[in-house]
Amino acid sequence: MTGICEGRVAIVTGAGRGLGREHALELARQGAKVVVNDLSTTLDGVVEASSPAHEVVELIRAAGGEAIANGADVADFEQAGAMVRQAIETFGRLDILVNNAGFVRDRMLVNTSEEEWDAVIRVHLKGHFAPLRHASEYWRNEAKAGRTPDARVINTSSGAGLQGSVGQASYSAAKAGIAGLTLVAAHELARYGVRVNAIAPAARTRMTEGAFAQAMAAPESGFDAMHPANVSPIVAWLAGSTSGDVTGRVIEIEGGRICIEEGWNHGPAHDAGERWDAVSAGSAIEELLARSATPEPVYGAAPVPVAAS
């Protein structure tokens, strides 16, 4: 296998199914050696007996690529570290980390339990932090040893985190946190030769089969805009050496559409030069809101289908 990731070593978390599976297969097609991570859980986070990661590994090997399976819980700090070490010990290096693992426990905010909130935040947000922390330490040590990496991190946010999604408070909060983590990591790791970006994909996965089944359904003919494989070429490009001038970006992907998110940019402002009183502050805010862009989506509108990862 040859391609834009030829000779590079990648970890893809949550790679047994859905988006992660397609990312692992595409990276392998582009020449990467892949650690296929999957804890193998049900949609609500219950660990299953068998892992689909081995099937993905066999598909890669059958096509002439190199891959190994990994069953780490990526939100467990020690297991995440062992996963990074496995990649380095098996393939001699690590160049790419694709953070993708996650699950949902959709509830309206007033019905969300503490356990549900903690579980979703843990697997998405801590499940991004822990592998990133260990991979970053490896890349920093390489840079200090005079072997500056040409490394890539691709995190997975979501439209739910960027614009909000009704009934997904915990998921939206986690995905917004991932976007923020991406910006910080891009700044901090640039000195070590690491580029950090995030995607916000819309695709048909186990997490969208329930709430958004109709909107995500495959068409009888023509382009299947919601197929998860539509997202993976963008991941592969971000993972390759030619994307070295791209970092700190969040890229939304839906079907054949790519959109660069612009996030929390500074909008209209007014500085009084002194402390505001409540009445005048209210008048100033109303005037600034009248000059600012309307949020997406318009609050109170019907929920919009969002990516799941």
pLDDT tier, 303 (very low <50, low <70, confident <90, very high otherwise): very low
Given a cut of 60, whether residue 45 has pLDDT beyond it is no
Which residues neighbour 146 within 8 Å (Cβ) at sequence distance 6 or greater? Answer: none
Confidence of residue 151 (pLDDT cuts 50, 70, 90): very high
d(CA 217, CA 224): 9
Mean per-residue pLDDT for 27-31? 98
Q: Enumerate residues 6+ apart whose C-beta is below 8 A from 297.
A: 163, 164, 304
Active site residues: 158, 171, 175
Residue 164's pLDDT is 85
Torsion angle of the four alpha carbons 234, 236, 242, 247, in this order, in degrees rounded to the nearest 10: 60
Tally the C-alpha atoms within 13 A of residue 217's C-alpha that lie toward its C-beta: 6
Computed over every residue of the chain, the mean pLDDT equals 91
3-state secondary structure of 252: strand
Percent of the chain with pLDDT over 90: 77
Burial class (CB in 10 A: 0-12, 13-18, 19+), 53: buried
Q: What is the largest CA-CA distance in the chain?
A: 70
Q: What average pLDDT score do residues 25-39 get?
A: 97
**124 in Cβ contact with 258 (< 8 Å):** no
CB–CB of 80/97 below 8 Å? no
Query: Which amino acid, one-letter code, is at 90?
Result: T
- Dihedral through CA 72, CA 75, CA 79, CA 83, nearest 10? 60
The separation between CA 94 and the C-alpha centre of its own chain, rounded to angstroms, equals 18
